[in-house]
Every structure is written in structure tokens, then in C-alpha cells.
Amino acid sequence: MDRIHITGGAPLNGTIPISGAKNAALPLMIASLLTGETLELINVPRLADIAALTRILGNHGVDHMVVGKRPGQTTETGQTVRLTASNVIDTTAPYELVSTMRASFWVIAPLLARFGEAKVSLPGGCAIGTRPVDLLIMALEKLGAEIEIDAGYVVAKTKNGLRGAPIDFPKVTVGGTHVALMAAALAYGTTVIDNAAREPEVVDLAECLIKMGARIEGAGTSRIVVEGVARLGGARHEVLPDRIETGTYAMAVAMTGGDVSLVNTRTDLLASALETLSATGAEVSDIPGGIRVRRNGGGISPVDVTTDPFPGFPTDLQAQFMALMTLAKGQSRIRETIFENRFMHVQELARLGAKIRLDGDLAVVEGVERLKGAPVMATDLRASVSLVIGALAAEGETQINRVYHLDRGFEALEAKLARCGAQIERVRA
């Protein structure tokens, strides 16, 4: 199993290109099942989760082609992918495939909407919480789907197609909003989605669906209105920049010091996180086509945060921000409101010398003068990269084990950091 070896203490200076967002690319790829025509996606990151979903779509009969390099493309800036679901041969998504990635459960929506049936395995547990699919099933039932659970599978059918209806989510759910959007796009009549997720990735999916011929208004607000259409066509769409990758590298600069330009990204995608970062003492500014982050060696100020759905502070940046706060000059309080069990990185940060006390959904971080390198083990995707950030600032050497988690969500991480002066290398198993 691969490991990452980091010798800490070097500031980061240079330019890091931000990849396309994994959390946008996955639902966009799944949306290819809604049409028999080709969906061309630009700026798709090269990640393990993308490869896993490609296999799942291939199992349904979706043809997949990676287009040759285009001007400006590098191995760090995404790829162009064409997906064609003109000959879907199977509406079943088996456990052995769905279990590798939870988001693959979302194929239930386009399969049901287009073919009137779907049989999709329940995705199972998750290291950062249960993340149940009950709200996704509720949304489909509101649209007229007949659903039963049989031997670990969700079996969904509709006799005369889905029909538009009001869907009022009891809590904000990104997955539920994705599923509702895709299903409602081909439903007969009007669907009104209340308490919809406002995340940029939801907006990106809606914009792509509109290019395919869907009639959608209100994406990016808490109420989305979808007027169903009889069919959707092909489209060409560019995946939006990865706001979590952007925030991760911004926090790494704030922790290690230095001056880095994050290019191919936008401040509006993570305004709350960048405001919080500025409050710690980092200088954050807009530049053409990106964001500049600087810290001149001054101390890190402690800041309290609470994770919230967009436009609040992202849960996917909580672990990275906690790593930053371990070196703050004082106490900070970090409250996690989205996922239970999302403090699994705490014990590993403690191995680097961090002082963190847990109280339910609250982590109290007492800043220390310095961290020291140590062997650590990754437990999930975001926890993994928080350990990378900590190791970059720690004295001496850190070895991070089980880094396959990183390959799920960060494209060319070692190359991007090494380009900016980090002493980082992957040790192959």
C-alpha cells in the first residue's frame, strides 16, 4: 500500500492549478444516463472515484471515451470525457460496484426516469457517518415511484412514468437535490423542490441539464422549479473548479507560510471559507483567473467555525481547518453539524503534537508552538489531506499511510505541492 513521505518546514511558493470538482463531475457523469445522445464533459479530474463511476456506468452500457489533449490541458488540469448512453443494457447497479462509492447510488434517478425501472444496491456504511438514502427515496416516491427494499437492493418502478410533484426536504441534502433534479427533468408536469441544497455543484448539474434541454429555474436558491420534458439531448459542459481543493491548498499556505497563486478557480465558490481564512491572518485576494494566498510568517490567529450547508463553512474543509488551528496562538472551537464521526483525524493530528479535546460535535483546539513529524494513518479523504497539511508545517519527517483515500479526491497532489517547494514524495508499495 502506497505511503506519502513529507519533510516539513518549507513555505509554499508558486502556482497551483485547481482541478475540476469531483463532487460536480460525479452527478454530471450520472446525468449521461438521461439521454441517448453524447454528453461531453470538460475538465474532469483524474481520480479513483471518477474511474470507479466510469466502471459503474459501463456496466449499464454507457460508452466512455477520453478525448485527446486540448490546448492548455496538462496532467494536472483535467480531461475531456464523452459519455453516450444510447444502448443501456442493464438497469441494475450491483453491490460490488455501488459499494465502492456512495454517490453511485444516484444512478437510480436517471434510470427510473428514462426507463421506468431501476434496481440499485444500498451503498452501505461510511467512515464519516451513515449518510442514509431515505431522503433520496422519499423524493422519488413523491414523483410517483413505487419502491421496495429487497435483499439489500432498492427496487424502483413506475408504470406510466414519473409525475411532477412538490418535494419538501426536511433537511438540506445535496444527494437528494441531485436525485430530485435528474428525476424531475423527465417527469410529466412541474416539480417544486423546497429546502433544496444551494451548493455550486447543484447549480453546475442544473446548468448542464438545461443545456441538455431541461427546464429548470432557481438552482442556487432553496426553491428549484423543474418543468419536465419528454426527452433530453446531448450537450457540452465544463466542470466547475473544485472549491474543496482550492480551500485545502489555501489552508496549507496559511499554515506553512509563503505565497501561492491558485489558478483556474473562483472566490465565490467558497467565500465563507476564505473569509474565515483571512481572519486567521492570511492575506487572500482575487487575481485574474484565480486566488492569491499569502502569509508572511506572522502568527496564526484562532478562529471559531461551525460547518453548515452552502453558503456556510463546508464540512469538507473542517479537517483541513482544524490542522491549521493546531498552530494558532490561542484556543479555537470547531463544531461539526453535517456528519457524525467526522473527527476521526483528531487522534492522528495528536500524533503530530496537536492538542485537541472532543465534546460531542465540538472540537476545542489549543494551539501549540510547533508540530513534530510522526507516522500517521489516513481514515477518510478529508482526514487524509489534513494530515498532509499538518505534516507540511511539522518539524522533521512524517509518513502518511493508507493514502489511497487521497487518490479519490485530489488530482496530482504531490506534484502540485512539490512544484511550490514542498518536500513530498510517494513511496510505492
Active-site residue set: 126
Q: Which three cell numbers stand for residue 159?
A: 408504470
Separation of alpha carbons 278 and 274, rounded Å = 6
Separation of alpha carbons 247 and 129, rounded Å = 23
Q: What is the largest CA-CA distance in the chain?
A: 66
Q: 134: which residues sit within 8 A by CB, 6+ positions away?
A: none
Q: Which three cell numbers stand for residue 221?
A: 436558491
Positive or negative: CA dihedral 49, 338, 386, 123? negative
308 is in an annotated binding site: no
Of 390, 326, 339, nearest in space to 174 by CA: 339
316 is in an annotated binding site: yes
293 is in an annotated binding site: no
402 is in an annotated binding site: no
403 is in an annotated binding site: no
Q: 428: which residues sit within 8 A by CB, 6+ positions away?
A: 2
The b-or-e profile of 70-89 (16+ CB within 10 A means b, else e) is eeeeeebbbbbbbbbbeebe
102 is in an annotated binding site: yes
Separation of alpha carbons 200 and 208, rounded Å = 12
133 is in an annotated binding site: yes
50 is in an annotated binding site: no
Separation of alpha carbons 84 and 65, rounded Å = 9
Phi, psi of 418 (to 5 degrees): -60, -35
Question: Which residues is 399 bridged to in the sheet?
Answer: 5, 375
187: region left, alpha or beta (phi > 0 left; psi from -120 to 50 alpha): beta
> In the β-sheet with 331-335, what is the strand arrangement from edge to edge?
305-306, 331-335, 362-366, 355-359
Q: Which residue ranges make up the annotated binding site for phosphoenolpyruvate? A: 22-23
Q: Which residue ranges make up the annotated binding site? A: 22-23, 102, 131-135, 316, 338
Q: Which residue ranges make up the annotated binding site for UDP-N-acetyl-alpha-D-glucosamine? A: 102, 131-135, 316, 338
